[in-house]
């Protein structure tokens, strides 16, 4: 969201009591911003191909049912990678025709369910294809079925998110000896297999590397179709992975830039002969989420000021454990939700967890924070507050969506309530305290 809109939303959230001493951390989602990102994605690909495109939101990026429902209302589907994610997509009302199942470790039960519902399935490996063979023989399916391949073209800046390396756990490694031939033969042996899938990675992957991975898949599809003597593969799933700019409010790179690069790199893929599936996640949500946390105490250690807040590793796990790969902006607001002004002082912003590394940021120049001030963490709509880390049994924060009303204010809608202490106890076996005494 733009900085002015964010400032207004933070002030409104404080005025309406969403953030309080009893609920000292809360997350906000900008509904209009999410709709704008979805529209930008759809229009970017519509500008480069007349073929059908299913934009399947990667549920892992924000597994919240109201978010999936909103994106479905925007024309998007869902990419799921577990029974839990599939259950969330179904709860949001997404039909099988708008759902894609990925995962490197699908069980027979998962496959059987997907095939019975008609959900598209991307097999991860040749052993999984053999399992699917048996299932479709015993119970014919309407599911579109494909195979994921690894183009083995290299890594981006974050190794853990680079899925097209020489030794990636995902897909069939095309450059391994005999692998490409085995993939081609797998398709020729299965004339009902009509999709091909690849995904190069996400944050830290340059656009050129993403486009190169898609081009490898396109060339493979062309080879298979030529050897089959017909267009057996009619849809290519190009994955997602558009990186997000976490350094400023600017939304860059854009979907339009990526689509135009694809058109230049693999023009044949976009000439209308192939349908497409995309699986974007982070880039649709990140810029439209914000975490607010109260400053509980301030202190000085080694002459450096430290603000102790209620947002830390439980909401920003990646940023806390790997701040180099996952830097976050941290903004200072006063207790009424207004941007704090004044001289910037180098200080640390700490979270509530009981380990020394629970820091949102270190040595960050900010107007000096005081107790009851508010720390605001933008760009957290994906992979942050929806991926709770239960360190110290800290509760999951409430999530509220917001929209502007006709009078210039904001209307907040609860997306997920804050986790209660009773719920924490229940998850920790609270109904069976004597289980280990026998």
Q: What is the largest CA-CA distance in the chain?
A: 74
CB within 8 A of 141, min separation 6: which ones?
Answer: 115, 116, 118, 135
Note if the bond before 253 is cis, omega within 30 degrees.
yes
Res 426: pLDDT: 97
List the end-to-end C-alpha distance of the chain, in Å, as a whole number: 55
Closest CA to 142 of 115, 108, 171, 170: 115
Per-position pLDDT tens, the chain of length 438: 468 899 999 999 999 999 999 999 999 999 999 999 999 999 999 999 999 999 999 999 999 999 999 999 999 999 999 999 999 999 999 999 999 999 999 999 999 999 999 999 999 999 999 999 999 999 999 999 999 999 988 888 888 878 888 888 899 999 999 999 999 999 999 999 999 999 998 888 899 999 999 999 999 999 999 999 999 999 999 999 999 999 999 999 999 999 999 999 999 999 999 999 999 999 999 999 999 999 999 999 999 999 999 999 999 999 999 999 999 999 999 999 999 999 999 999 999 999 999 999 999 999 999 999 999 999 999 999 999 999 999 999 999 999 988 888 899 999 999 999 999 999 999 999 999 998
Whether 47 and 262 have beta carbons less than 8 Å apart is answered as: no
Which single residue is written with the structure tokens 């999951």? 396
Res 406: pLDDT: 81
Res 144: pLDDT: 98
DSSP letter assigned to residue 438: -
Alpha carbon separation from 138 to 96, 141, 144, 189, 289 (Å, rounded): 20, 10, 17, 18, 46
Res 161: pLDDT: 78
Closest CA to 364 of 341, 333, 331, 340: 331
Whether 29 and 427 have beta carbons less than 8 Å apart is answered as: no
Res 407: pLDDT: 81
Q: How far is it, in rounded angstroms, from Cα 438 to Cα 435? A: 7
Res 159: pLDDT: 86
């Amino acid at each position: 969201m733009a900085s002015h809109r964010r400032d207004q939303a933070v002030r409104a959230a404080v005025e309406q009591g969403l953030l309080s001493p009893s609920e000292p951390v809360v997350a906000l989602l900008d509904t209009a911003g999410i709709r704008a990102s979805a529209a930008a994605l759809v229009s970017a690909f519509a500008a480069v191909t007349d073929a059908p495109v299913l934009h399947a939101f990667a549920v892992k990026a924000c597994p919240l049912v109201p978010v999936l429902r909103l994106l479905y209302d925007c024309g998007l589907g869902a990419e799921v990678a577990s029974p839990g994610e599939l259950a969330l997509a179904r709860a949001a009302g997404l039909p099988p025709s708008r759902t894609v199942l990925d995962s490197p470790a699908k069980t027979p039960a998962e496959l059987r369910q997907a095939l019975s519902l008609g959900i598209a399935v991307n097999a991860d490996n040749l052993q999984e294809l053999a399992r699917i063979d048996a299932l479709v023989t015993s119970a014919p399916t309407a599911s579109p079925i494909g195979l994921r391949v690894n183009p083995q073209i290299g890594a981006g800046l974050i190794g853990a998110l680079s899925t097209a390396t020489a030794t990636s756990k995902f897909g069939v490694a095309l450059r391994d000896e005999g692998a490409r031939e085995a993939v081609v033969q797998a398709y020729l042996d299965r004339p009902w297999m009509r999709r091909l899938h690849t995904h190069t990675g996400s944050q830290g992957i340059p656009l050129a590397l993403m486009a190169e991975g898609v081009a490898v898949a396109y060339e493979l599809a062309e080879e298979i179709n030529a050897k089959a003597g017909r267009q057996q593969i009619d849809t290519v799933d190009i994955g997602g992975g558009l990186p997000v700019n976490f350094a400023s409010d600017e939304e860059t790179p854009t979907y339009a830039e990526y689509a135009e690069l694809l058109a230049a790199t693999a023009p044949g893929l976009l000439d209308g002969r192939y349908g497409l599936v995309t699986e974007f996640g982070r880039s649709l949500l990140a810029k439209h989420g914000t975490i607010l946390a109260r400053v509980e105490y301030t202190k000085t250690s080694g002459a450096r000021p430290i603000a102790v807040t209620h947002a830390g590793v439980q909401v920003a796990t990646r940023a806390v454990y790997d701040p180099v790969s996952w830097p976050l902006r941290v903004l200072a607001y006063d207790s009424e939700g207004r941007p704090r002004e004044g001289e910037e002082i180098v200080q640390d912003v700490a979270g509530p967890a009981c380990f020394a590394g629970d820091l949102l940021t270190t040595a960050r120049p900010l107007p000096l924070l005081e107790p009851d001030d508010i720390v605001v963490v933008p760009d957290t709509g994906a992979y942050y507050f929806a991926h709770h880390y239960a360190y110290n049994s800290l509760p999951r924060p409430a999530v509220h969506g917001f929209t502007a009303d006709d009078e210039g204010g904001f209307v907040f809608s609860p997306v997920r309530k804050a986790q209660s202490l009773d719920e924490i106890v229940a998850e920790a076996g609270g109904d069976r305290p004597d289980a280990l005494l026998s």
